[in-house]
């Protein structure tokens, strides 16, 4: 088969977009069935001794859509209420893992996100924390969130960092 330079670039571009985000989860997280087709993977991060519940680790993919990096970061920050007069400090940072650009935040406070997307009912969970990241791939963004009681998220933060370092697009 003979391809022109332009056709070869188009073919390479199409091939680059056919892969998926791959990762290796820490052994201490328990895999559970994904609750929707938009969830690539779901894990339970077991609770810290004094916490009332486990944390969730969810990897989302919305078919290459899902909003801009900034829109997601702002939405995630908005899912936490701070004490009166205190501003959220999300600890935003951008870094690369191989060829993937990652933008991450670490936010805490009272978790007030919608119980389900579009629902009027909201969570009211004080002393919660979320570590979340947008992983930019040739196929579009993936979204990774570790959410739960603050002490449990703290207990799993090193595992979350290791998890993020295993991300690759194949």
Residues 6+ apart with CB under 8 A from 64: 139, 140, 141
Q: Whose CA is closest to 105, among 137, 69, 138, 81?
A: 69
In angstroms, the CA 158 to CA 155 distance is 7
pLDDT on residue 108: 94
* pLDDT value at residue 56: 98
Name the pLDDT band for 3 (thresholds 50, 70, 90).
very low
Q: Which residues does residue 42 pair with via DSSP β-bridges, in sequence order?
A: 32, 58
Residue 13 has a pLDDT of: 36
The residues spanned by each domain of the chain are 20-169
**Domain 20-169: homologous superfamily in CATH:** Mog1/PsbP, alpha/beta/alpha sandwich (3.40.1000.10)
Secondary structure letter of residue 125 according to DSSP:
E
The per-residue pLDDT for 17 is 46
Is residue 21 within 8 A of residue 135, CB to CB? The reply is: yes
CB 110 within 8 A of CB 122: no
- Following DSSP, what letter does each residue of 143-161 receive, concatenated? EEEEEEEHHHHHHTHHHHH
pLDDT tens-digit readout, 35-54:
999 999 999 999 999 999 99
Alpha-carbon distances of 152 from 75, 108, 128, rounded to whole Å: 22, 12, 9
Percent of the chain clearing pLDDT 70 (strictly above): 89
148: pLDDT strictly greater than 50: yes
Mean pLDDT of the chain: 88
pLDDT of residue 18: 55
User: Distance between the two ends of the chain, CA-based, in angstroms?
Assistant: 25
Q: 58 to each of 9, 44, 55, 115, 118, how far by Cα in Å?
A: 34, 9, 10, 15, 19
Q: Give the tens place of pLDDT for each residue, 50-86.
A: 999 999 999 999 999 999 999 999 999 999 998 886 7
Could you report the per-residue pLDDT of 82-99, keeping only the tens digit for each? 888 677 778 899 999 999
Mean pLDDT of 139-164: 98
For the residues 96-120, what does the mean pLDDT come to? Answer: 93
pLDDT digits (tens, 9 = 90+) for 15-25: 344 589 999 99
**What are the backbone dihedrals phi and psi of residue 41, each rounded to the nearest 5 degrees, phi first?**
-155, 150
């Amino acid at each position: 088969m003979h391809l022109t330079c332009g056709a070869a670039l188009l073919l390479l571009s199409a091939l680059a977009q056919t892969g998926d985000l791959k990762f290796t989860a820490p052994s201490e997280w328990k895999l559970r069935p994904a609750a929707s087709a938009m969830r690539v993977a779901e894990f339970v991060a077991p609770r810290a001794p004094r916490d009332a519940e486990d944390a969730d680790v969810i990897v989302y993919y919305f078919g290459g859509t899902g909003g801009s990096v900034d829109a997601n970061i702002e939405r995630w920050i908005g899912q936490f209420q701070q004490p009166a007069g205190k501003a959220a400090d999300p600890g935003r940072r951008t870094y690369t893992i191989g060829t993937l650009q990652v933008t991450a935040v670490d936010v805490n406070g009272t978790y007030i996100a919608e119980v389900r997307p579009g629902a009027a009912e909201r969570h009211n969970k004080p002393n919660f924390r979320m570590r979340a990241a947008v992983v930019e791939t040739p196929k579009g963004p993936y979204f990774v969130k570790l959410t739960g009681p603050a002490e449990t998220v703290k207990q799993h933060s090193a595992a979350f960092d290791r998890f993020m370092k295993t991300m690759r697009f194949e």
